[in-house]
Structure 1
Amino acid sequence: MFVSTAYAQTAAPAGGGGDMLVQFLPLILIFVVFYFLLIRPQQKKMKEHKAMLSAIRRGDRVVTGGGIIGVVTKVGSDDELTVEIAENVRVRCLRSTVNLVLAKTEPAGKSGGDAAPAATPEGEAKPADTPAAGGIGKLFGRK
């Protein structure tokens, strides 16, 4: 006849555990790169932002999430602030909506009296020399 008999071949022995490691190595490397370039810096930034929010005091000049700039006049309960955005115009906002602290006041113990923001001759509050307070000034090369 014209049909030949086909015989099945035996399977090759399975490779050791090293073969699996070589297959997953690119995925592991991608995860490591994502961790150091994305996840870790984001966690650090969130930690700094949380510390900045917990350090807000009366007299600090802040920028809210909606872009409103004002001075904190009262620190209420856990997460409530009263911010004066214009003369005799005060709004209550959540502490978590504050994006940036532009100017920090000195602690009451250092000045010996009521904490108030230091003012320049133009009447603008001076930005403090803290990393969180440098925000917009850093973008334009100011210290």
Structure 2
Amino acid sequence: MPSPILFRRTLIVAALLASAALPTAATASAQPGDSYFFTTPSGQWHCGIVVSDGPAWAGCRGPVPASAPNVQGGGVASIHPNGVAVTSGQHAVLRFYSDVSVDPPGAHVLPYGRTVSAAGIDCRVDPTSGVTCRVGDHGFTISAASYQLR
């Protein structure tokens, strides 16, 4: 059985996504330690909004376009990124995830056109442009074909 915290988080996300009365945006009241994980309908992108004692952040792991520059990560000085992240108050960055910080088991599908929001971060999935996550003036849009960092 999953830990009580993971189970609670999974239930919160499931309730947000499965609700028949879900408006265009689902807003969650986030507390430190809460995290909201989702995958895209295509299954290519695994994403999360992570709320901790520090600044909240959002990130996605998936097939970053070949045109993206290498980053430091995974214990090496230069590697092709496999994801992107944005932290409150900072510009988005390409990154290499060597763990499951944004794709733990049990994440739910966020349907196209729906938005999940927590701790001032909004993430939305579009069939053409991919995943967009924003926090204030910063954020990212990423798909297998292109990316934009703000």
Common fold, TM-score beyond 0.5? no
Normalized per residue, the structure richer in strand is 2
Normalized per residue, the structure richer in helix is 1
Q: Over alpha carbons, which structure has the higher Rg?
A: 1
Higher relative contact order (CA 8 A, sep 6+): 2
